[in-house]
Amino acid sequence: MNTIPANTSSNSLPKWGALERSQWLAQQSVKRSYQFEVVNKIEQLKQNFEVSQYGALEYDVQKYPLYLIKNRHWDDQLPVILITGGVHGYETSGVQGAIRFLKTQAYQYKGQFNFIVAPCISPWGYETINRWNPYCVDPNRSFYQALINGELSTQQGSEEANKFMQAISAISNNVYAHIDLHETTDSDNNEFIPALNARDGKQPEPRETPDGFYLVGDTDNSQDECMAFIIEGVEKVTHIAPADNQGCIIGSPLSQRGVINYALESLGLCAGVTKAKYRITTEVYPDSPKATDEICINAQVASVMSLLEYLK
């Protein structure tokens, strides 16, 4: 097999080339079923929602269809709420939380909002419990509009992000609020961050995993009042992450209790993919001794509902 020679970075650790990437991929395996845990549940939603397929991952088009779910009786006069999950496929409660919200709560908001929901943007990552896609790309660093316009090198892109951006392009300027459902896990520190450092030829830097729920807002439009409202709502379901000794969560200073802000667009984050007034990322901590799978799903649902209550 031909391989691209490994690059070297300024601090002289070698970056991964094609060989290392293929070795990484060879170590991954399917650990759960996207069909059984996700697609079958989406099928059941067809009774009450418009379900459409916006493509499939080229990696295996049979196994990895991609879905968008909208409410019936779309009303152009109502604000559009975008809910995304499974941008990081391993973050289970984001996927299951989006589905649970639709199944059990969305009916209450009939006539108040339009919903467009992508419950699992990275189905290969869901099945193999991975942060990256099969090509060692983090989908949540690849939501660059310029990629689908052909203005940016495709190396920075991911099929997961590109297909989703194309699927929502007709409505992305009309989205009023976007909530992207994530988790921060112990495997970030134990597995995914070490792999990222190895891939990019960087020295590892220790990072504390915050014990509890937190939100990531937009540096350019932080919507502090809304964020505080969501934290208050989620706190009824699960505990909120405290700041570390430096007053930070995952290296970023708190803007208020349980909230940090990121430059969503320049980092290529999914939450920066629309021009929505409210752009929010949730972070649930499933590995806490105080959390269960069910608490984590309920925390995601509570995040969505608190946002909607705030907007009502």
CB 111, min distance to Zn ion, A: 32
CB 108, min distance to Zn ion, A: 27
Residue type, 108: Q
Contact call for residues 172 and 273 (beta carbons, < 8 A): yes
Nearest CA among 245, 231, 224 for reference residue 282: 231
Neighbour tally for 154: CB within 10 Å? 12
Task: Name residue, tokens 């992207």.
Answer: 180
Does 138 engage in binding with Zn ion (CB under 5 A)?
Answer: no
Does 281 engage in binding with Zn ion (CB under 5 A)?
Answer: no
At residue 84, φ and ψ (nearest 5 deg) are -125, 145
Nearer to Zn ion, 88 or 100 (CB): 88
CB 4, min distance to Zn ion, A: 28
Query: Which residue of 21, 88, 163, 178 would you call a contact of Zn ion, by CB under 5 A?
Result: 88
Query: Site residues for Zn ion, window 90-109 (CB under 5 A)?
Result: 91
CB 88, min distance to Zn ion, A: 3
DSSP of 102-171: HHHTGGGGTTT-EEEEES-S-HHHHHHT-SS-TTS--GGG---HHHHTT-S-GGG--HHHHHHHHHHTTT
Query: Site residues for Zn ion, window 182-221 (CB under 5 A)?
Result: 182
One symbol per residue from 166 to 185: x for binding Zn ion (CB under 5 A), - otherwise; what is it?
Answer: ----------------x---
For Zn ion, the binding residues (CB under 5 A) are 88, 91, 182
